[in-house]
Amino acid sequence: MDIVFHPRFMDHRQYAGHPERAERLSVVLGSLARSELDPPMHEPKPVDEDLLLKVHHKDHLRDLENTGEGYYDPDTYMTGDTLAIARLAAGAGSLAVDVATENSAAFALVRPPGHHAGTMFGGGFCYLNNVAVAAERALESSKRVAIIDLDVHHGNGTADIFRSREDVLYISTHQYGIFPGTGHIKEVGTGVGEGYTINVPLPAGTGDKTFMYGMDRLILPILEKYDPSFVLVSIGVDAHYADQLANMGLTSEGYMALVQRLHDFARGGSRGIAYFLEGGYDLGALSEVVGNIIAIDEERSVPMRLNEGYDNGVGRRIVDQAVGIHSIMWDI
Ligand SMILES: [Zn+2]
């Protein structure tokens, strides 16, 4: 799989001790090198301004510029470099779609992440929405795009940008009750977008079995019906049991099983697929999961060791409830 990466992503700094740090990318690059994987690399340019304005209101961009250096929110810091690097990460969103169109798959290995940035707001370590830029880029040549958000946090920014759209399907699995507090099971989109937002807010302790049940019972059946020409995956590795920011039980193998299903869905239907790094703060889990996604079509892989996860089973009820809410419209 081709990688979209810029060395400037390593220069992005939050305040000292922040979990969203440059090592998140260097461990992935290190594990690829150790496994003798040498994927083609593409360097993005800053995002095209017209494309960016399809995703964010100009007031949000002005707000970021005016913040200069300081706290954007209590968890999200800006230095004089932040906005320039965020523009490169958003540019990586667009380039990943171009690369995936040509080669069928791409991974945008980016910092800062993007899925908490909405039309008029940033926050939660995010400034510009990389995957939303990618969706708009994909829509230049596709009728329908699906975004699957596997980060443990609800992608409130992505949901905000596409809530009233039927040409972008947004599906999110996330831990309920943690940041940002949105993504209720009954939030299904508005106007013509009603039914094109699917939230699966899972309780703490949900693991491999329940996530796979949700994939097979809800996510894949809806994807089959929606029939997108492009699949974009917001991949956060913070639903991993080793991650300290949340309380889910996914293993590295569980993550890969979920990703393999999405990958097979895309490839089976000759659809493009592109992955976008969002969160994930345990360096071991990140390098294993992201490394193996990048290696998914290769004969070599990255060794996986973090497989002692757990599943308390309580999330199954939520999957069934989501199926109940969406079954009529999607005939699943
Ligand atoms: Zn997250």
For residue 173, give the CATH number of its domain: 3.40.800.20
Ligand 1 center from residue 165 Cα (angstroms): 24
CA atoms in the 13 A half-sphere facing the CB of 315: 29
pLDDT of amino acid 123: 97
Ligand 1 center from residue 236 Cα (angstroms): 6
Q: What is the mean pLDDT of residues 47-67?
A: 97
- For helices 82-103 and 130-139, give the axis angle rounded to 10 degrees: 40
Residue 243's pLDDT band, with cuts at 50, 70 and 90, is very high
Ligand 1 center from residue 239 Cα (angstroms): 8
**Segments forming the whole domain that contains residue 190:** 2-330
Look-up: residue for tokens 């990943």?
96
Q: Measure the N-to-C terminal CA separation of the chain; round to a whole number of Å.
A: 32
Q: How far is CA 201 from CA 28, 152, 180, in A?
A: 28, 9, 12
Ligand 1 center from residue 230 Cα (angstroms): 23
Element (H, E) at 262: helix 252-268
Instruction: List CB-based neighbours of ion ligand 1 within 5 Å.
Output: 151, 153, 236, 238, 279
76-78 and 2-4 beta bridge pairing: unpaired
Which positions are catalytic? 116
Q: What is the mean pLDDT of residues 104-125?
A: 97
This model's pTM is above 0.95: yes
Look-up: residue for tokens 């003798």?
36
230-235 and 197-202 beta bridge pairing: unpaired
Q: Token digits for 113? A: 């992440």
SS (H, E, C) 2-31: EEECCHHHHHCCCCCCCCCCCHHHHHHHHH
User: Structurally, how many domains does the chain consist of?
Assistant: 1
Q: What is the mean pLDDT of residues 163-169?
A: 98
Say how far apart CA 184 and CA 186 lie, in whole Å.
5
- Res 283 pLDDT > 90: yes
CA max distance for the chain: 50
Contact 83, 64 (CB under 8 A): yes
pLDDT of amino acid 33: 96
Question: pLDDT for 15-35, tens place per residue?
Answer: 999 999 999 999 999 999 999
**At residue 158, what are phi and psi to the nearest 5 degrees?**
-60, -45
